[in-house]
C-alpha cells in the first residue's frame, strides 16, 4: 500500500508540473460550464413561464431538467479528454526506456499499475470537484436537492475509473502516446456507441445485452439518484478488467 | 513452389474467415454462406498450418509463446469470471433511492399487492422506438421487478412484431398488456396506480362487474351504432372488468356483485320501484354513476334529490364552442381539482348538457365535489323550448357545474335496507357521480378528445377501494429558478471564463517555474 501511495505521489507531481492537466481542466470546465449555464438559462425561462401560468404548473424538477443533462454531457466530454490524461502513463516510460528501471525496482507490477491508476484518478476527482461550484452557486438562488447530486458524483467517479483503467491499458500497449490516446478513444467510444445502438434494438436479447454494456445507461441511474449494486458491479468490474489487462501487458514485457 | 502455395492458402484462409464473419455480422442470413466461408477458411488454414508445421512448432515451443498463450488464457478466464459475476449480480440487486422523486421506489400498497401475487405475471409493453412513455413504463416495471420475481416484462415495438400486436388487439402505441392466470388487462395510461390496479383486478378470483341499467331507452352496451355504448363496453372489458346489463324492473334490486351501476342517458321515466331500488343500493354503500341528459323526464330527479343532487330543466350554452352553441368544451387544466381529474390533461366535450347542482340543505351530512365546469363565457338558460338564445336578464353566466361527486362527510355504518340486498363491505363507501349529459360517452363521441378517458376515470374511481386510490402520484418537487440577467451573466462569466482561465494561469506559472529551474 505504501509503495502504491509513493508511486501515486510521484505520478501526481508529474501531473502538477506538466501543463496538460491544467489545459484539460480549462477546456473541460469551459465546455461543461457553458453547457450548464445554457441549461440554466433555459430553466429560468421555463420557471418564469410557469409563474405566469399559475394553477397549471408544469413539473419543474431542477435535478431532472438541469443537472441530469449536464452530467450526461460532462460524461461525454470526460470520455473524450480522459485518454489524454492516461496516454503517457506507460507509453512515456517505454519511450524513455525507464521501464527497465521500474521493473527492476522493488515494486510489484500490481503496485505499479495501481499507483499510476490512483494518481490519474485523483486528478480526475479534482477535475470533477471543480464542477461542484455549479450546484453551490445555484443553491444561493433556489433549493438544490443534494441527495441525487451525491449519487451523481459517485456515478461520475466510478465512470472515471472505467475511463482511466481503459486508458491505462491502452497506454501499456504502445510507446507512442498518440497511439495510446487513440486506442483508448476507440475503446471508450465503442462503449458509448453500444448504448446508442441498444436504443434502436431494445426489443431483443442483443439489445438488452448492449444496453447493459452501455456506459451511459448505467451512469444515468446514478445521475437520476439511484445507487444500485447492478451499476456498481458494472463499473467496478470494468475498471478491474482494465487494470488486470494492463497488468498482463506490463508483465509480458518481462519476457518479451 | 510449395512454399508459395502454402502462403497463398494462408492468405485465402484468412480472407475467408473474415468474409464469413462480416457476412454474419452484417446480413446474418443465409446461414449457409457463413458456413461455406468458414469451412473454406478452416480447410485453407489447416493446409497452411500443416505445411508450416515446423515453423509453428518452433514458434510454440519458444518461451515467449508459452507465456503469451498463458497470458491470453488467463485474460480469457478473467473476462469469463467478470461476465459471470455481472450476470449473477445483475439479477440480485440492492438499491438505494436518493432521487427524492420516488422514481425508483413504489408505494407500500403496491409492495403488498406484489407480495400477495399467486401467479406469474407477464407484462408486454407496446411502444414505438423512441417513446417517453416507454422509459417511464420501464422505470416503473423495473421497480416492480425489484420487489418480486413473479413479474416478467418485455417491451415490444408493434411495428416490428405486428402479429403479436394483432394477437393482443393493440391499435395504439404506448399500450401495456398485463397477463396473469388466463386473465388480461390492457392499459393506455401508464402509472403505478394504473398498473397496480390492473394487477389487483386480474389476480382477483372474480372480475368486478359494472351494471348498465336498461329498459328506459338508455344507450345500450350492445349497440355498435353511433348512439351505443359498445366502445365503452369493449374498453372496460379490456381493462379486466366485466360488463353486464341490469333490467331493474324484473330484478327488483341491484345485484350484490355490482361494483358500479351506470345509468346511461335514460329517455323514458323510471318507475317508483326502480327508483327505490337505486336508493336502497346507495343506502347500503353502493356506487352509482348517473348520466342524465337535459330535456328528458326520467323520474330519477326525486331519487337524486334525496342524495342532494338537484337537476333543473335547463341547458348550458357555449357560444364560443367550436362544436356548436350547445356543446360545452372543458379544456385541460380547467377541471375542478378532484381525484378523478387529477393529472387529466385532455379536453372533453358534452353535446347538450344540463346543470348539476347541490342542495345546500344536505350540506350537513353530504359532501358535493364538482368535477366538471363549463367555461367562463358559457350561459345557463332555462328557456329550453324553441330557439335557444342567450338572454342576459334571465340566464345565468358561467362557469356552470354540470358534473359532480356526492359522498358522505362522515361515513355512516352500512345498513341493511330491507330490499334483501346485503350491506356492502364496510370498506366500501357510498359514491354517487352525476353528469348532466350522456352523449359524450356514446360511440360517436367517446373516441374524440378525452371523453372516453374521462368516463374511464369516473368508473374506475367508483370501482376501486379506498386504499388503491391513495397511491400517491410520484410527483417530483417543483422548484423554480429565477435569475435576473445580471445574475445570469455573473454566473456565466465567473464559471465559464474566469475559473478556467485562473486554472490555466496557475498551470502556466508552475510549468514556467519548473522550466527555469
pLDDT in tens, B115-160: 878 888 889 988 887 777 888 888 888 888 888 888 888 888 888 8
A74 in Cβ contact with A131 (< 8 Å): yes
Report which DSSP code applies to B105.
-
Q: What cell was used for A79?
A: 470520455
Mean pLDDT within B289-317: 88
Instruction: Please tell me the predicted confidence (pLDDT) of residue B251.
Output: 82
User: Is the predicted pLDDT of residue B467 greater than 50, yes or no?
Assistant: no
A36 in Cβ contact with A121 (< 8 Å): no
Confidence of residue A75 (pLDDT cuts 50, 70, 90): very high
B372 in Cβ contact with B401 (< 8 Å): yes
Q: Is A57 on the interface with B (CB under 8 A)?
A: yes
Q: Which residues of A touch B80 (CB under 8 A)?
A: none
pLDDT tens digit string along B233-254? 888 887 778 899 988 888 888 8
DSSP helix/strand/coil, B92: coil
**Nearest Cα residue in chain B from A66:** B481
How near does any CA of chain A get to the CA of B89, in Å?
6
Is the pTM above the cut of 0.80? no
Q: Where are the alpha helices (DSSP H) in B290-396?
A: 301-306
Distance CA B413, CA B285 (A): 9
Best B67, B99, B106, B336 member to test A by mutation, with max A CBs in 10 Å, is: B99
Q: At what angle do helices A19-52 and A109-130 cross, to 10 degrees?
A: 40
Q: Is A76 on the interface with B (CB under 8 A)?
A: no
Among A225, A219, A102, CA closest to A163: A219
Element of type H or E holding B147: helix B132-147
Distance CA A122, CA A93 (A): 20
**Nearest Cα residue in chain A from B93:** A229
Report which DSSP code applies to B217.
S
Instruction: Please tell me the predicted confidence (pLDDT) of residue A185.
Output: 92
Apex B44 CA angle, B38 and B47, nearest 5: 140
Distance CA A190, CA A195 (A): 9
Distance CA A50, CA A62 (A): 13
Q: Where are the alpha helices (DSSP H) in B377-484?
A: 451-463, 466-469
Burial code of B14-36, b = ≥16 C-beta within 10 A, e = fewer?
A: eebbebbeebbeeeeeeeeebee
B201 in Cβ contact with B178 (< 8 Å): no
B190 in Cβ contact with B183 (< 8 Å): no
Instruction: Please tell me the predicted confidence (pLDDT) of residue A183.
Output: 92
How near does any CA of chain B get to the CA of A155, in Å?
12
For chain A, positions 135-154, list CB contacts with chain B under 8 A. Answer: 137-138, 141-143, 145, 147-148, 150-151
Q: Select from A44, A64, A251 the Cβ nearest to the Cβ of B481.
A: A44
**Phi, psi dihedral angles at B262 (to 5 degrees):** -120, 125
Distance CA A168, CA A183 (A): 10
DSSP bridge pairs for B288: B261, B432
Across the beta sheet with B315-317, the strand order is B315-317, B379-381, B396-397
A3 in Cβ contact with B450 (< 8 Å): no
Q: Select from A57, A61, A150 the Cβ nearest to the Cβ of B98.
A: A150
How near does any CA of chain A get to the CA of B191, in Å?
16
Confidence of residue B477 (pLDDT cuts 50, 70, 90): low
pLDDT tens digit string along B363-387? 888 888 999 988 888 888 887 777 7
User: Is the predicted pLDDT of residue B61 greater than 70, yes or no?
Assistant: no
Q: Select from B86, B95, B482 the Cβ nearest to the Cβ of A233.
A: B86
The dihedral built from the CA positions of residue A204, A208, A214 and A220, taken in this order, carries a sign that is positive
Confidence of residue A255 (pLDDT cuts 50, 70, 90): low
Mean pLDDT within A234-256: 86
Q: What cell was used for A121?
A: 484518478
Apex B456 CA angle, B423 and B278, nearest 5: 30
Mean pLDDT within A165-190: 92
Instruction: Please tell me the predicted confidence (pLDDT) of residue B58.
Output: 60
DSSP bridge pairs for B407: B367
Q: What ipTM does the predicted assembly reach?
A: 0.85
Radius of gyration of the CA atoms of chain A, in A: 20
For chain A, positions 196-235, list CB contacts with chain B under 8 A. Answer: 199-200, 202-203, 212, 224-230, 233-234
User: Is the predicted pLDDT of residue A241 greater than 90, yes or no?
Assistant: yes
Q: Select from A224, A225, A228 the Cβ nearest to the Cβ of B93.
A: A228
Mean pLDDT within B31-47: 78
**Phi, psi dihedral angles at B8 (to 5 degrees):** -55, -45
Q: At what angle do helices B53-61 and B31-51 cross, to 10 degrees?
A: 80
Confidence of residue B424 (pLDDT cuts 50, 70, 90): low
Distance CA A76, CA A73 (A): 5
How near does any CA of chain B get to the CA of A62, in Å?
6
Q: Is A94 on the interface with B (CB under 8 A)?
A: no
Q: What cell was used for A124?
A: 480526475
Instruction: Please tell me the predicted confidence (pLDDT) of residue B458.
Output: 87
Mean pLDDT within B481-501: 88
How near does any CA of chain B get to the CA of A80, in Å?
18
State the count of interchain CB pairs (< 8 A) between A and B: 189
Distance CA B308, CA B453 (A): 26
DSSP B276-297: HHHHHHHHTT-EEEEE--TT--
Cβ–Cβ gap B155/A202 under 8 Å: yes
User: Is the predicted pLDDT of residue B469 greater than 50, yes or no?
Assistant: no
Amino acid at each position: 500500500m505504501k509503495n502504491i501511495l509513493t508511486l501515486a505521489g510521484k505520478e501526481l507531481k508529474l501531473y502538477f508540473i506538466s501543463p496538460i492537466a491544467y489545459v484539460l481542466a480549462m477546456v473541460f470546465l469551459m465546455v461543461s460550464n457553458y453547457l450548464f449555464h445554457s441549461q440554466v438559462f433555459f430553466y429560468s425561462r421555463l420557471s418564469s413561464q410557469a409563474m405566469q401560468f399559475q394553477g397549471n404548473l408544469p413539473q419543474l424538477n431542477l435535478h431532472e431538467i438541469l443537472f441530469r443533462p449536464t452530467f450526461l454531457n460532462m460524461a461525454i466530454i470526460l470520455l473524450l479528454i480522459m485518454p489524454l490524461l492516461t496516454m503517457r502513463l506507460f507509453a512515456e516510460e517505454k519511450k524513455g526506456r525507464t521501464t527497465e528501471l521500474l521493473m527492476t525496482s522493488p515494486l510489484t507490477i500490481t503496485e505499479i499499475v495501481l499507483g499510476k491508476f490512483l494518481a490519474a484518478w485523483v486528478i480526475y476527482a479534482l477535475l470533477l470537484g471543480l464542477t461542484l461550484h455549479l450546484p453551490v452557486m445555484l443553491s444561493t438562488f433556489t433549493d438544490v436537492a443534494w441527495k441525487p447530486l451525491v449519487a451523481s458524483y459517485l456515478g461520475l467517479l466510478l465512470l472515471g475509473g472505467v475511463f482511466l483503467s481503459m486508458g491505462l491499458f491502452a497506454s501499456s500497449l504502445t510507446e507512442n502516446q498518440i497511439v495510446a490516446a487513440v486506442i483508448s478513444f476507440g475503446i471508450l467510444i465503442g462503449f458509448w456507441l453500444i448504448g446508442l445502438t441498444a436504443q434502436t434494438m431494445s426489443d431483443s436479447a442483443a439489445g438488452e445485452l448492449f444496453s447493459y454494456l452501455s456506459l451511459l445507461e448505467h451512469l444515468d441511474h446514478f445521475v437520476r439518484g439511484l445507487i444500485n449494486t447492478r451499476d456498481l458491479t458494472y463499473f467496478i468490474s470494468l475498471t478491474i478488467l482494465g487494470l488486470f489487462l494492463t497488468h498482463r501487458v506490463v508483465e509480458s514485457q518481462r519476457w518479451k | 513452389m510449395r512454399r508459395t502455395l502454402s502462403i497463398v492458402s494462408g492468405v485465402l484462409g484468412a480472407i475467408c474467415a473474415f468474409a464469413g464473419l462480416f457476412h454474419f455480422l452484417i446480413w446474418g442470413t443465409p446461414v449457409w454462406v457463413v458456413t461455406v466461408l468458414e469451412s473454406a477458411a478452416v480447410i485453407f488454414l489447416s493446409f497452411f498450418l500443416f505445411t508450416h508445421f515446423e515453423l509453428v512448432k518452433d514458434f510454440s515451443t519458444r518461451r515467449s509463446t508459452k507465456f503469451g498463450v498463458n497470458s491470453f488464457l488467463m485474460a480469457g478466464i478473467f473476462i469469463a469470471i467478470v461476465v459471470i459475476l455481472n450476470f449473477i449480480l445483475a439479477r440480485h440487486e440492492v438499491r438505494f433511492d436518493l432521487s427524492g422523486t420516488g422514481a425508483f421506489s413504489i408505494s407500500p400498497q403496491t409492495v403488498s399487492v406484489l407480495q400477495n401475487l399467486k401467479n406469474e405475471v407477464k407484462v408486454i409493453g407496446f411502444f414505438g422506438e423512441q417513446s417517453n412513455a416507454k422509459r417511464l413504463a420501464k422505470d416503473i416495471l423495473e421497480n416492480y421487478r425489484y420487489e418480486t420475481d413473479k413479474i416478467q416484462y418485455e417491451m415490444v415495438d408493434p411495428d416490428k412484431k405486428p402479429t403479436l400486436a394483432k394477437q393482443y388487439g393493440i391499435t395504439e402505441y404506448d399500450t401495456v398488456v398485463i397477463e396473469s392466470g388466463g386473465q388480461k388487462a390492457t392499459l393506455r395510461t401508464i402509472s403505478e396506480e394504473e398498473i397496480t390496479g390492473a394487477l389487483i383486478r386480474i389476480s382477483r378470483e372474480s372480475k368486478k362487474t359494472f351494471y348498465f341499467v336498461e329498459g328506459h331507452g338508455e344507450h345500450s352496451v350492445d349497440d355498435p351504432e353511433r348512439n351505443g355504448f359498445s366502445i365503452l363496453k369493449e374498453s372496460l372489458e379490456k381493462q379486466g372488468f366485466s360488463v353486464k346489463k341490469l333490467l331493474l324492473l324484473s330484478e327488483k334490486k341491484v345485484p350484490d356483485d355490482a361494483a358500479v351501476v351506470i345509468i346511461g342517458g335514460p329517455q323514458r321515466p323510471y318507475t317508483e320501484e326502480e327508483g327505490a331500488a337505486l336508493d336502497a343500493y346507495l343506502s347500503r354503500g353502493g356506487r352509482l354513476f348517473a348520466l342524465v341528459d337535459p330535456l328528458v323526464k326520467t323520474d330519477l330527479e326525486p331519487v337524486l334529490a334525496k342524495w342532494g343532487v338537484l337537476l333543473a330543466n335547463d341547458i348550458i350554452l357555449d357560444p364560443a364552442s367550436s362544436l356548436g352553441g350547445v356543446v360545452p368544451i372543458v379544456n385541460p387544466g380547467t377541471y375542478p381539482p378532484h381525484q378523478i381529474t387529477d393529472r387529466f390533461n385532455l379536453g372533453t366535450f358534452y353535446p347538450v348538457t344540463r346543470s348539476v347542482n347541490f342542495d345546500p340543505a344536505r350540506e350537513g351530512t353530504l359532501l358535493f365535489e364538482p368535477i366538471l365546469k363549463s367555461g367562463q363565457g358559457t350561459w345557463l338558460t332555462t328557456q329550453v323550448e324553441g330557439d335557444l338564445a342567450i338572454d342576459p336578464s334571465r340566464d345565468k353566466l358561467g362557469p356552470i357545474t354540470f358534473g359532480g361527486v356526492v359522498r358522505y362527510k362522515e361515513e355512516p355504518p352500512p345498513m341493511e335496507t330491507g330490499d334483501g340486498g346485503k350491506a356492502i363491505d364496510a370498506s366500501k363507501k357510498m359514491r354517487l357521480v352525476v353528469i348532466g349529459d350522456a352523449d359524450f360517452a356514446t360511440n360517436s363521441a367517446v373516441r374524440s378528445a378525452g371523453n372516453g378517458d374521462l368516463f374511464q376515470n369516473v368508473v374506475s374511481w367508483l370501482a376501486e377501494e379506498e386504499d388503491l386510490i391513495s397511491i400517491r402520484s410520484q410527483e417530483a418537487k417543483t422548484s423554480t429558478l429565477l435569475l435576473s440577467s445580471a445574475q445570469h451573466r455573473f454566473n456565466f462569466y465567473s464559471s465559464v471564463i474566469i475559473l478556467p482561465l485562473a486554472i490555466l494561469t496557475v498551470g502556466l506559472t508552475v510549468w514556467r517555474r519548473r522550466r527555469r529551474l
